[in-house]
Amino acid sequence: MATWLERYRNGEHEQVWAEMMAAGESIRHEPLFSDALAVARETMRRARQNVETLRDRLEQSGYQFAYPDEVITPPRPDVQHCIEELERRIGPLPLALRAWYEVVGAVNFMGRHPEWETHVYTDPLVVDPIDMALEEYQEWREECREYGIEEMGPYQLPVAPDYYHKADIASEPHHTIAVYRVVLPNPAADAPVGDEPHHTTFVNYLRTCFRWAGLPGLEHSEEHQEIVNRLVSELQPL
């Protein structure tokens, strides 16, 4: 039988990830683990290529990145040590997130296009660096000591600020400011991203972002469909 990696490379992207998710915690054991991790790394290799392509295309279109030096931050040289340290402290990371840190690093597409309408929350693709996960863990531990773990709840790894934060809006009436997060530990292949508008998993969050040129909030604006179609042309499928 073909491996998950072989099938994934042959185009069975969503089916392979669905099967890996269905495997649950058993994905952490051989003979599944190596094959699943290879799929996760191949997925994130494609994600990195898409991020690099979109960065260049958005810049050429006139998009102004808020943090030009942080659009793509490559993995730390000691990223494996960071992953091991985080897993030692809190438990396993989902394979998708682990592979993201290994292959991509961090991404920040926050910014604006001077010719686009300003009332649309574009919700730019952001995935915070693993450094922030380690910092947040330390803060969570300190608060657990002060208030108790039952009060604090499980550790939630920060993925990105929500679309209000990304638009540099401190508060909006009737809206609660949130942070997109993944609850840890999670030994599965992928994990839900809490408070993200699509209520989906990390891999599907990336798929949605790439479907909308790294700016998934544009799905609510028909005016930008034509430019989105040009920006996403021939991106790598995840």
**Mean pLDDT, rounded, for 20-43:** 97
- The answer to whether residue 186 is domain-embedded is yes
Q: How high is the pLDDT of residue 223? A: 74
- The answer to whether residue 237 is domain-embedded is no
**Mean pLDDT, rounded, for 186-212:** 95
- The answer to whether residue 236 is domain-embedded is no
Instruction: Return mean pLDDT, the chain.
Output: 91
What is the pTM assigned to this prediction? 0.92
- The answer to whether residue 137 is domain-embedded is yes
pLDDT in tens, 223-235: 778 888 999 999 9
pLDDT in tens, 78-115: 999 999 999 999 999 999 999 999 999 999 999 988 88
- The answer to whether residue 152 is domain-embedded is yes
Domain of residue 94: give its range: 4-231
* Residue 200 vs residues 38, 82, 226: alpha-carbon distances, Å: 22, 26, 26
pLDDT at 162 over 80: no
- The answer to whether residue 45 is domain-embedded is yes
Least confident of 157-161, 189-193, 232-236: 157-161
**Residue 15 pLDDT class (50, 70, 90 cuts):** very high
- Structural domain total, the chain: 1
pLDDT in tens, 36-64: 999 999 999 999 999 999 999 999 999 99
- The answer to whether residue 107 is domain-embedded is yes
pLDDT in tens, 127-149: 999 999 999 999 999 999 999 98
- The answer to whether residue 225 is domain-embedded is yes
